Amino acid sequence: MNWMGDWNCKICGRYHKYGDLWYRCDRCYFQVDVSCGTKMLQKNIIHHPSHKHPLICISKQLLAKCDACGKEHKGNFYHCSMCVRSNFIHSHCAFLPQKLPIQDTTNDVFSHIHHLTLAYSFPIHDQRSKDFPRCRVCRQFFDDPNLWIYKCEKCRYYTHLDCATSRDEPFMSILKSPGTDSKNYKDDEHLDLLHLPFPDPSYSILKHLFSKEKGLSTLEISNKITYKAQGVIHKHPLILEDITIPTSSRIKSISYHDPMKRIQLLCDGCVRPITSGPIYVSDNEGQCNFMLHEWCSRLPAKLIDHPAHQQHTLILRSKAPPRKFFGVFDCDICELPCNGFAYYCKHCYKFIIDVECAFLPKEITHTIHPNHLLSRVYHNDPGEECRMCGVIFTGISFDCHTCNDFRLHAKCALFIPETTRNKCDKHPMKLSYFPIENHKSDYICEVCERELNPEMPFYHCHECMQSMHTTCAPSILQYETYDRYRRGVYQFVNVKFGGRYENSKVHPHPLSFVQGIQDDGQCHKCGYKLQFKMIFKCLTCEFAVDYDCCSDI
């Protein structure tokens, strides 16, 4: 070829005369005109908002880790030729949209009212200020603060790149494996399946199993505690009271549990609120405040082959064995203190559980992990953390065998209802598992007035925009309960306060069994603060002592 003569562009074919500018390869003499050469350069160089210098596309396809999403990809990568330590950005990530409606990219499996904005890092200090949020899609943490994410500018909503773009980018898809959007069980094969959380604090497993509405088809009638055998439960005769019956033998009417009026009425069996009849009450009115749900009178006298203690039969007791001071024991399943009815082993003496944990079902469902069965599992060693309280624990939990990384503590499943009422808000407050939409500021609990982590379950009123800890919600008599140790469940949810203790060796006046508040000061024996503890308090003078200290006297 005569390189001094006229020539044609190898891309567009346009004829050029001698002297026109060109781009040429010295090895193969491939030549293009300036117009096509400029277009090629513009295509391989991008000005990306994530970096101050232009990014150049590497001509060869590579198998490398993308510094934007953290995944390994094969294809074209962009990098900065001016920086010594340049990031490698895969072409798919380099051209992700700045604004993204997540419902469009996840086939409506996940949705949000606002568009998500592409962010080029998630610094640790930002994560800490937002209580270390999890990805809304996969529920995992953002381990690498340098990776790109999608976030909402108006809410606390964050997702990984691969999670937010699961439909548009096949190499990023997280929906190829079965997710929580599809059921892993058939309803007709699980007719008696327990769906949690319970609708309100008054509902329980015992009501689910033993109420008249449920029937006794699953129970052994010979094991049912009948009305004639009530003396086994309580020293006084018990009378069945029902608000629907106009005639009543009681002089004083019953004031049922009502948080809005700060009226607390708890069952002495299950220690759940009594909001309506029928109930059993003591015939010794004025001297005894014993109350019992009608369905709690149906509890079996014995439990054989209980999964937590199969070697011995468990016996029902209306009070813990005498060695348990003031009838308070720690349940060997939920590990919470309790002074209600209990099942205990008379051979081991040490094993004792509350009546709620005694009837844990084999399988449940829960709205925090919808459409998947959660199976009862006993763990000897700590493993995954509970998704509701965030605590790593041993003991009985409900696990998802489909996902293999979801675990729910038994007490969190049982004792955190879907709705609750508190004097702090005039509306029912609903359980929320995520930060509220259009709420980016800090969350403050209306009960304890401390900061609340919206990444953990909490109660929220969408009308008043008020929130409260799940541990503070049951506190209707005083406003001092809060989640000091991130337990999720109110520490004394199974304790009925209000008993009277008389012992001249401890104090000359009668002592009331209550939960300690700040004004109670310090224990008169050990000197430690009494706030947030079980205590015995004198209503005549300022004497108060911790439960453990009182039991040692």
Q: pTM value?
A: 0.80
- Exposure letters 354-371 (e unless 16+ CB within 10 A, then b): bbbbbbbbeebbbebbee
Successive 10-residue mean pLDDT values, the chain, 553 residues: 68 79 76 75 79 86 90 89 86 89 78 91 94 88 94 92 66 38 80 91 91 49 34 69 57 77 90 89 76 90 91 90 88 92 88 94 92 88 80 84 86 92 87 89 87 90 90 73 69 90 92 90 93 91 93 83
376/399 same-domain check: yes
89/151 same-domain check: no
Query: What total number of domains does the chain contain?
Result: 4
Q: Does a structural domain hold residue 197?
A: no
Element (H, E) at 279: strand 279-282
State which residues form the domain around 150: 99-165
Strands 363-366 and 194-196: parallel
Q: Does a structural domain hold residue 477?
A: no
Give residue 275's Cα distance to chain centre: 26
Q: Which of 165, 191, 217 is the last residue of a domain?
A: 165
Q: Is the peptide bond before 197 cis (omega within 30 degrees of 0)?
A: yes
15/91 same-domain check: yes
Q: Is the peptide bond before 237 cis (omega within 30 degrees of 0)?
A: no
63/125 same-domain check: no
Q: Which of 149, 165, 181 is the last residue of a domain?
A: 165
Q: Which of 414, 429, 451 is the last residue of a domain?
A: 414
114/73 same-domain check: no
77/22 same-domain check: yes
What is the distance between the alpha carbons of residues 352 and 39, in angstroms, rounded to a whole number?
79
71/127 same-domain check: no
**CA nearest to 293, candidates 311, 271, 309:** 271
Tell me what pLDDT residue 146 has.
Answer: 94
60/129 same-domain check: no
- For residue 521, what is the domain's CATH number? 3.30.60
Q: Does a structural domain hold residue 129?
A: yes
What is the distance between the alpha carbons of residues 493 and 479, in angstroms, rounded to a whole number?
15
**CA nearest to 482, candidates 443, 511, 513:** 443
Count CB neighbours of 90 within 10 A. Answer: 24
Tell me what pLDDT residue 387 has.
Answer: 85
Q: Does a structural domain hold residue 244?
A: no
155/91 same-domain check: no
Element (H, E) at 42: helix 34-44
Q: Which two tokens stand for residue 296?
A: 């709690």
Q: Does a structural domain hold residue 24?
A: yes
89/104 same-domain check: no
Q: Does a structural domain hold residue 54?
A: yes
Structural Rg of the chain based on CA atoms: 33
Tell me what pLDDT residue 197 has.
Answer: 95
Q: Which two tokens stand for residue 513?
A: 């069994």
Q: Does a structural domain hold residue 387?
A: yes
Instruction: Please give the DSSP secondary-structure letter assigned to residue 510.
Output: E
Q: Do 355 and 343 contact (CB within 8 A), yes or no?
A: yes
74/151 same-domain check: no
Q: Does a structural domain hold residue 290?
A: no
84/117 same-domain check: no
